[in-house]
Chains A and B, each alone.
Chain A
Amino acid sequence: MADTPRRKISFPRYAEYNCAFRYIVEQALGAKYIMPPALTKRTMALGTKYSPDFVCTPFKTLLGSMIESLEAGADTLLMTHGLCRLGYYGELLEQILRDLGYEFDFINLSDYDMSKKKEYIKLVRRINPKVNPARFLAQFMEGVRMVEYLDEITAEYYQNCGFDATGGEYKRAYQDFLTAMYTARGRSDVEKGYRAARRALRAVPLNKPGRPLRVGIVGEFYTVMDPFSNLELERKLADMRVEIHRWMNVTHQFIHHGGQKNMHVKIQDLCAYEMGPTATANIWFARECAERRFDGLVHIKSASCTPEIDVMPVLQTISADYKIPVLYLTYDAQTSDVGLQTRLEAFYDMIDMRKKVL
C-alpha cells in the first residue's frame, strides 16, 4: 500500500488491554498503532483541565490520554460507544480536542449502529479500505484470544500474588507475561507467551493458608479494571495477604457473556429489571461472593457514575442480608494514594478481626 500512508491509530490507555488493541490494529487492520504513554499525574492534569467539571473521571483520564497520544504522533483516534454516558464521550472528546487546535481523524463508534453487521464492515473499510474481511476476522479473533489470556492470567495473579514465598518471583513472571503480550507479532507469540506464563506462575512456591481472607471486587467498568485509576487497589489489598476476586473484565462482560438474561434470573429477588450497563453482573457477583462466604466486598466507582450510584442501595441490601462488610470507594481526579491506603488498612483490620471472632 504505497499510495496511501498507513493510518497511525491510537486508543486511550485502558488497564493492560492496549497490547490487544495494538495487536488488532497492526495485525488485523494493517495500520500502525501508536501506544499512548503510560498514565501519569500529567495525564490526569491535562484531562481535568479541559474537561467539564462533573463529568465522570474516566472521561478526564481518556481526554488526557488522547492528548498524549496526539503528542506521540497519532493521526487517528478511536473512541468506543457505550450504554451509559460513555456513549457520548466520543463527540464531546472530539469537540474539546478540536477546540484545542489538534488535527486528527476521529472514528467514533457511536456514529455506527453496532447491532448491524453491515456497519462493522463499513467501519473496517474506513480504517483501511484494503482489508480482506475474512483475514481481518481471523486476526481479530486472535486479538480477542489475547484478551482472554490476559484476563485469565491477571485474575490468577491477583488471587495469589499476596502469598508469594520468594519475595518477587511471582510478580516477575506476571511482568514477563505482559511484555510478551505487548511485543507479540503473531499467533505463536501469543500462545507461547501464555503457556510460559502459566508454567512460570505455577512454579513459584506460595505460602498460602488453607482459608485466606477473600475479598470480592465489583464496580464501574473502567475504574475497577484500570490500576492507575483505582490507585492499584488490587495490589495494595493483595499485599496485605488477601485473595482478590474480580469477575468484571472484558472477557466476562463482552466475550463470554452476550446478554445477561441467565445471570439476571439469580438476582430477581433483588432487582426486577436490568438497572444499568454493568449492574446485573455486579449485583450477581456481589451476591455470589456473599453466598460463598467471602470476608468482604469492595465497590469501586468514579465520581458521579450514575449507574453505579444506583446499584449501591442493592449492595446495601446484600450487605444487610448476608452480613458482609462492603467498602464503598469513589475515585475522582484528586483521590490520594495515602488516603486510600489508610482506608484499606482499616478495612483489612476489620475483616481480619471479624474472621477471628466469627
Chain B
Amino acid sequence: MLYFRYRTLWRAFFQELGMDTVTSAPTDREILERGTALAIDEACLSLKIYLGHVAALVGKCDYILVPRVSNFGWHRSMCTRFEAMPDLTWNVFRESGQKFLSYDVDELMKRKEKTAFLDLGQTLGCPAKEVRRAYKAARKAEALQYKARVQKQEQLYKKEGLKILIAAHSYVIEDQYIGRAVTDYLKEAGVVPLRADLVDRDGAIKRSRELSPTCKWEISREILGGIVQHRGDVDGIILLSAFPCGPDAMVNELITRRVKGIPMLNLVLDSQTGTAGVETRLESFIDIIRLKEGKL
C-alpha cells in the first residue's frame, strides 16, 4: 500500500546495495480476487488488493518487503493497519514458506527511518557504511523525484479549464484497478484532475492545522494541507476513498462539515467490477459545477 509513496526510495536503496527488485504487476481483477479470499471480510479494499499483490509475488523472489510504519512523531501517525502490516502478512502467508523483510519506523519509540533502514541493510548482510551510503543516495533520489512531481502538479493549477481537486490516498488514486478510472474519466471529460496529496509535505502538515487541529494521521494531514492551500484554485473537490477506510470515514466527514462554498463529491470505491456507476456520479458532478458556473 505504501508502494506509491516509497517506490523510488525502496528501488534506489536496494539497487545501491547491488540487489535486484521485483515488483508485482499493476492491480487487476485477479489480484483483487486473490486478495479478497485471503483477507478478513471486513478489511478495507486496499488491504485486500495488497494481499493479492503479496500472493502474486510469493515464490518469485527471495524476500518480500513489508515495512512497518507506525508514526513520525506526535500526531503524525499512520493508520494502525500499517503498524500491523508485517505481522498480519506473515500470519496470512505462514504456510507458503516465503521469506519476508521488514523495517520499523516508530518515532514515538525513537526509531527513525534512517535507523530502520540501517538495520534492514545489515540484516541483509551488508556493511553498515555501505548501507548508510545507499540510504543517503536513495533518500536523495526520492526527494528529487518527489519535488519534480510536485512542480509538475503546480504547473497544472495554471492550466485553463475546469479543475477538480481529488483528496485521496496515493494507494487509492494511483491504483490501476480502482482509482485510475476516476482520473481517466475526468481527463476524458476535459477536466484537469489535481491531487491534494501531491504538495510540499512539510508545509501541508503545518497548514492542515487550520482545518483540523487534532488530526493525527500523517497522510490525512498532507491531504488536508493540500486542500487548505489549493481550495481557491479549483472548481470542485472529490473526496475519494476505498471502502471502508478508517481515517477517511472520519476525516472526510470533517472536511464536508468544515469546507464550505465549493462543490464536493464524496466517492467511496468498493470491489465492484464495472465503472459505469462511478462514471455516472462523476458526470453529474461535472455537470453541476458547469451549471453553477454558467458554462453549461
Q: Are A55 and B83 in contact (CB under 8 A)?
A: no
Across-interface contacts of B156 in A (CB, < 8 A): none
Q: Are A52 and B250 in contact (CB under 8 A)?
A: yes
Q: Are A307 and B249 in contact (CB under 8 A)?
A: no
| Interface: A90 (CB within 8 A) | yes
| Interface: B86 (CB within 8 A) | yes
Q: How many Å lie between the Cα of A330 and that of B214 in the bound state? A: 28
Q: How many Å lie between the Cα of A85 and that of B83 in the bound state? A: 13
| Interface: A165 (CB within 8 A) | no
- Closest B residue by C-beta to A303: B42
- Closest A residue by C-beta to B108: A115
For A310, give its contact among B88, B216, B217, B253 (CB under 8 Å). B88
- Closest A residue by C-beta to B253: A52
- Closest B residue by C-beta to A96: B257
**Nearest CB of B to A118, in Å:** 14
Q: Are B83 and A275 in contact (CB under 8 A)?
A: yes
Q: Are B216 and A87 in contact (CB under 8 A)?
A: yes
Q: How many Å lie between the Cα of A60 and that of B37 in the bound state? A: 30
Q: Are B257 and A274 in contact (CB under 8 A)?
A: no
Chain B contacts with A in 135-171, Cβ cutoff 8 A: none
Q: Are A279 and B84 in contact (CB under 8 A)?
A: yes
A54, A56, A95, A110: most-surrounded residue (chain B CB, <10 A): A54
Given contacts A95-B258, A96-B257, A310-B80, contact A316 B249 (CB under 8 A): no
Across-interface contacts of A316 in B (CB, < 8 A): 91
Q: How many Å lie between the Cα of A83 and that of B84 in the bound state? A: 13
For B91, give its contact among A85, A277, A313 (CB under 8 Å). A313
| Interface: A338 (CB within 8 A) | no
Given contacts A88-B214, A96-B257, contact A313 B250 (CB under 8 A): no
| Interface: A335 (CB within 8 A) | no
Across-interface contacts of A314 in B (CB, < 8 A): 87-88, 91
For A276, give its contact among B75, B83, B244, B251 (CB under 8 Å). B83
| Interface: A254 (CB within 8 A) | no
**Nearest CB of A to B40, in Å:** 5
Q: How many Å lie between the Cα of A277 and that of B75 in the bound state? A: 15
Q: Are A313 and B249 in contact (CB under 8 A)?
A: no
| Interface: B195 (CB within 8 A) | no
Q: Are A273 and B104 in contact (CB under 8 A)?
A: yes
Q: How many Å lie between the Cα of A279 and that of B212 in the bound state? A: 28
Q: How many Å lie between the Cα of A91 and that of B252 in the bound state? A: 13
| Interface: B79 (CB within 8 A) | yes
Q: Are B84 and A317 in contact (CB under 8 A)?
A: no
**Nearest CB of A to B223, in Å:** 14
Q: Are B84 and A95 in contact (CB under 8 A)?
A: no
Q: Are A273 and B91 in contact (CB under 8 A)?
A: no
Q: Are A272 and B250 in contact (CB under 8 A)?
A: no
Q: How many Å lie between the Cα of A330 and that of B81 in the bound state? A: 18
| Interface: B263 (CB within 8 A) | no
For A313, give its contact among B70, B88, B102 (CB under 8 Å). B88
- Closest A residue by C-beta to B94: A317
Given contacts A84-B80, A277-B80, contact A90 B87 (CB under 8 A): no
A88, A113, A314: most-surrounded residue (chain B CB, <10 A): A88
Q: Are A88 and B250 in contact (CB under 8 A)?
A: yes
B44, B70, B216, B247: most-surrounded residue (chain A CB, <10 A): B216
Q: How many Å lie between the Cα of A275 and that of B82 in the bound state? A: 9
B40, B42, B84: most-surrounded residue (chain A CB, <10 A): B84
Q: How many Å lie between the Cα of A309 and that of B83 in the bound state? A: 13
- Closest A residue by C-beta to B81: A306
Q: Are A275 and B250 in contact (CB under 8 A)?
A: no
Q: Are B247 and A309 in contact (CB under 8 A)?
A: no
Q: Are B87 and A271 in contact (CB under 8 A)?
A: yes
Chain B contacts with A in 34-55, Cβ cutoff 8 A: 40, 42-44
| Interface: B215 (CB within 8 A) | yes
Q: How many Å lie between the Cα of A309 and that of B44 in the bound state? A: 10
| Interface: B213 (CB within 8 A) | yes
Q: How many Å lie between the Cα of A59 and that of B254 in the bound state? A: 14
For B80, give its contact among A111, A306, A330 (CB under 8 Å). A306
Q: Are B91 and A270 in contact (CB under 8 A)?
A: yes
| Interface: A3 (CB within 8 A) | no
B79-119 contact mask (Cβ, 8 Å, vs A): 1 or 0: 11101111110111010000000101000000000000000
Chain A contacts with B in 100-146, Cβ cutoff 8 A: 108, 110-111, 113, 115
Q: Are A330 and B213 in contact (CB under 8 A)?
A: no
| Interface: A312 (CB within 8 A) | yes
Across-interface contacts of A111 in B (CB, < 8 A): 213-214
A277-321 contact mask (Cβ, 8 Å, vs B): 1 or 0: 101000000000000000000000001101101111110110000
Those 10 A-B pairs whose CB atoms lie nearest each other, nearest first: A310-B84, A271-B87, A275-B84, A52-B253, A313-B91, A54-B244, A110-B214, A306-B246, A307-B80, A276-B80
15 contacts between A and B (CB under 8 A): A54-B243, A59-B250, A85-B247, A87-B216, A88-B215, A88-B217, A88-B247, A88-B251, A113-B74, A272-B102, A304-B244, A309-B40, A310-B84, A313-B88, A313-B92
Other than the given A90-B214, A279-B84, A306-B246, 11 more pairs (CB < 8 A) read A85-B246, A85-B247, A85-B250, A110-B216, A274-B83, A275-B84, A304-B42, A309-B43, A312-B40, A313-B40, A317-B91
